[in-house]
Amino acid sequence: MMPLGIALSAPGAVSDFDVMLAAASAAEEAGFDFVCLPERPGLDPIALSAGLSAVTDSIGLIPAVSAPFHRPYNLARRMGSIDHISRGRFGWSLQAIPPAQEAARFAHMALPATDDAAPRATELAAVIAGLWDSWDDDAFMRDKASGQYFDRAKFHWLNHEGPHYRVRGPLDTARPPQGRPPLMVQGGTDVGDALAAAAAEMLEIMPRHLADARATRAKIGRGLAARGRGPDALCVLAGLALEDAPVQPGPLILSEAPAMLAALMAEWRSAGAVDGFILHLPDSPDMIRAAASELMPALRRLGLRDAEATHGTLRVRLGLAAAPSRHAA
């Protein structure tokens, strides 16, 4: 199936949870695989995804995270918790270099130099993935009769000592249901592409046309190969916006009718340029429903979406392979 998500991208600040809930619920009912919560002024994207995880059932939740301003241990446990609460629907979108306006909130902290940003964010992601593997999936026997809660052979110190982070571990949260909730990166910059090649499992690109997308895909493929990763390790998604649905600038704005949009998606996908798409939409349930009402049936007719409602973890919905623990036999 073709992964299809939305990014809630209305210009302006996010100040009302109920608006976000209405939008995420509309996206879930319409059958989208995931909703991205980009960095915008106002409420915290990770905390919003925690709130949404309790009152949605099947849709993936992908908040934005700015790498330089978070400690890996805090992120690993916070995000691991949300993966547990949502039963495997969590993903995260990591930005290696945040904009200056955001950096001013953390002016006492050093920002990474441009050429160090991708290695530093890659190390952050590696520490977090390592912390998530602290406890084996079967570490906890919780045997009330004997009083044995866990097996000492089934936890792992991380003992990470890298150029940017030192973290001993283990994490104080059980392994997330997905093992490794998928990491998304925005492409289009050298830093983003380098981080994606090293650590991401989802990449959003913003092509202007099919040839652009194909070229980007080829470049990404070379980056993955240089890292010893296969082309299937990364789910490539093109960001698109729709005319008359105002969103923050970035994605290609299309004015096609839904049937034409579905055909375009099919063409790009069969050309191997992308695996799926992210529609950038305002935080409006009505606009989300309107965008989906004819598009989804058209995609089903083209065999790109299932007629049945999709279930399963975010990894499953993205077609990503299972992520066993690095310590698994």
Partner 1 sequence: MKPRKRMMSLGLSIANLGYHYAAWRHPDVPADGNMDFRHFVHCARLAERGKMDGIFLADSSAVRDLDRPAIAREMEHQLVKHEPTALLTALAAVTKHVGLVPTASATYNEPFNLVRQLVTLDRVSHGRAGWNMVTGFSIDEARNFGLDKVAPSDERHERAAEFVAVMRGLEDGPIDHQGKHFRVRGSLGVPPVAHRIPIFTAGESDNAQELAARCADVVYGGQPNIDDARAYYASVKGRMAKYGRDPDELKMMPGIMAFVGRTLQEARDKFDRMQALIEPRLGLGLLTVSSFPDYTGYDLDGPVPDLPMPGGRKSEFVVGALAKAKRENLTIRQLYELVSGGFWHLGMVGTPTMIADLMEEWFATGAADGFNIQPPCIPVDAEDFIELVVPELQRRGLFRTEYEGTTLSEHLGLRRAVPMAEVA
What residue ranges bind partner 1 (CB under 8 A)? 13-17, 21, 40-44, 46-48, 50-55, 69-71, 73-74, 77-82, 84-85, 101, 104-109, 135, 140, 142, 144, 147-152, 155, 165-174
Q: What is the DSSP string of 174-191?
A: PPPTTSSPPEEEE-SSHH
For residue 220, the minimal CB distance to partner 1 (Å) is 31
For residue 204, the minimal CB distance to partner 1 (Å) is 24
User: Measured from the CB atom, is 174 or 302 closer to partner 1?
Assistant: 174
What lies within 8 Å, CB to CB, of 173 at 6+ separation is 76, 77, 80, 81, 84
Exposed/middle/buried for residue 161 (C-beta within 10 Å: 0-12, 13-18, 19+) = exposed
For residue 154, the minimal CB distance to partner 1 (Å) is 10
User: Measured from the CB atom, is 173 or 284 closer to partner 1?
Assistant: 173
User: Measured from the CB atom, is 4 or 10 closer to partner 1?
Assistant: 10
User: Measured from the CB atom, is 52 or 314 closer to partner 1?
Assistant: 52
Q: How far is CA 11 from each of CA 106, 245, 249, rounded to the nearest angstrom?
A: 23, 11, 9
User: Measured from the CB atom, is 27 or 242 closer to partner 1?
Assistant: 27
What lies within 8 Å, CB to CB, of 51 at 6+ separation is 17, 20, 21
For residue 118, the minimal CB distance to partner 1 (Å) is 21
For residue 318, the minimal CB distance to partner 1 (Å) is 22
**116 torsion bin: left (phi>0), alpha (psi -120 to 50), beta (else):** alpha
